[in-house]
A = this chain, B = another copy of it.
Amino acid sequence: MTNLSIVTERLLGRLRTLGEVGRDDDGRLVRLAASDSEKLGRDQFVAWIREAGLEVEIDRIGNIFGIWRPEAVSESAPLMLGSHIDTVINAGIYDGCYGVISGLEVIATLKEAGFTPVRPIVVAAFTNEEGVRYAPDMMGSLVYAGGLSTEEALASIGTDGSVLGQELARIGYAGKNEPGFLRPHAYIELHIEQGPVLEREGFPLGAVENLQGISWQKVTIDGDANHAGTTPISMRRDAGYAAARVITFLRDRAKASNTPTVATVGCIEFEPNAINVIPSRATFTVDLRDPNEDRLKQEEAELTAFLERLSQEERVAIRVERMARFEPVNFDEGIVKAIETAAAARGLAHRRMTSGSGHDAQMMARLAPSAMIFVPSRDGISHNPKEFTTDQDLIAGANILLDVVREMTKD
């Protein structure tokens, strides 16, 4: 059983089949969590689980589990693979689905090959990872890991006014199992990178060793709205100029450092937003990320200090509101090494890397040793119909997952 590989046609075929489930009248892929279209995706996934001869379990938050539980090892903690099958609006077909379908493919391949694992192997599809319909994102895995109560999550009101618990019941995915009912021995998530690093550096595979911490802040700067023609530069309290200073400070600082810190100002608004009026107010967001918590705290502190100096220099009032804060997650070194070993054995160029976006794995890491495997995203594009990974990369990634799972469950 040395040369085991997944069944490429089944993997790719299912990915494309699932990618056609939930298209709207305009042909856009839209499977928002617990919606009618997502129910169709869930039904398809459950059908494939049954086809593989696995147990199907649903928990109260709607997470779906396909469980391969050989009798001899049924009492052991399972190795869990997984991701999500809900999508954003007008999504690509790979985000989440690739990990779920590959997990099932790995189990099916091992099972069909007569492999005898030393523990159960489970594939999971977590509810509402995207967070488009209900907040917060990564909700299913967060609840599963005990980070949010099931009741609170089920009471979430959607952007369309719906209640998640009612919607899950309506589509038939309000399960009986208490979230966390299967405590995994370890968790592995295979995912597209959703960033440009692997492609640009020419690596088909990434062993994800950590996940960036995220700091989201909203900054409001208040100055004076005065006439753009009659107010000399020296007399201005220009909130827009002060905002521009923050944007260049963040970028220039990130660029000058040799750390992986990234800083982004994605949203901005001026008031009164008139061509001939100096902005009295500028409101903007700051997205700071770093895989190291100390460094992330340092960046936050540097921003705070800069805002204080700026407030003095420009005679503006600055208010900061924290919107979200997640500490970085360090994945399990043993699993990361196993991924590297498997890639090397298949002669696959690979690099260690950081996940810049959030994934269910960051929640599951609270419960068990976890890690992720990344494959390249063309042009780094995701959450978009242009999202694309080559078949070759998809197959290679699934085979690495297969090898790692086999290694971690062999006798």
Contacts and interface: CB of A to CB of B under 8 A. Distances in A.
**Most B CB within 10 A of own CB, among A228, A268, A279, A383:** A228
Given A244-B247, A262-B229, A267-B270, A200 B235 contact: yes
A276 interface: yes
**Most B CB within 10 A of own CB, among A234, A247, A260, A269:** A247
A212 to B, nearest CB: 6
A323 B275 contact: yes
Contact of A266 (B195, B255, B278, B285): B278
A231 B356 contact: yes
A275 B268 contact: no
B268 A231 contact: no
A272 to B, nearest CB: 8
A326 B277 CA distance: 18
A194 B323 contact: no
A264 interface: yes
Interface string A194-224: 1111001000000000001010100000000
B230 A356 contact: yes
A212 B234 contact: no
Nearest to A265: B240
A238 interface: yes
A127 interface: no
Interface size class of A (residues with CB under 8 A): 35 or more
A251 B197 CA distance: 36
Contacts of A238: 251, 264
A244 to B, nearest CB: 4
Contact of A240 (B214, B266, B276, B355): B266
Chain copies in the assembled complex: 2
Interface string A379-406: 0111100000000000000000000000
Contact of A194 (B195, B227, B235): B227
Contact of A275 (B216, B244, B274): B216
A262 B287 contact: no
Contacts of A234: 255
Given A235-B196, A241-B248, A266 B274 contact: yes
Given A266-B279, A273-B266, A287 B241 contact: no
A74 interface: no
A233 interface: yes
B268 A230 contact: no
Contacts of A269: 268
Contacts of A289: 228-229
Given A244-B244, A247-B241, A226 B196 contact: yes
Given A227-B195, A245-B248, A247-B244, A267 B275 contact: yes
Contact of A229 (B214, B267, B276): B214
Interface in A34-50: none
A336 B267 CA distance: 48
Contact of A228 (B232, B248, B264): B264
Contacts of A149: none
A105 interface: no
Given A226-B380, A267-B270, 18 more contacts: A193-B230, A200-B235, A212-B229, A228-B356, A229-B287, A229-B355, A229-B356, A229-B358, A230-B380, A231-B356, A232-B260, A238-B251, A244-B245, A244-B265, A248-B248, A266-B276, A266-B278, A276-B287
18 contacts: A194-B227, A196-B230, A200-B235, A227-B356, A229-B287, A229-B357, A230-B355, A232-B260, A232-B262, A241-B247, A243-B244, A244-B244, A244-B245, A245-B248, A266-B273, A266-B277, A267-B275, A275-B323
The 10 closest A-B pairs by CB, nearest first: A195-B230, A229-B356, A230-B356, A244-B247, A228-B264, A244-B244, A275-B285, A229-B357, A228-B287, A233-B254
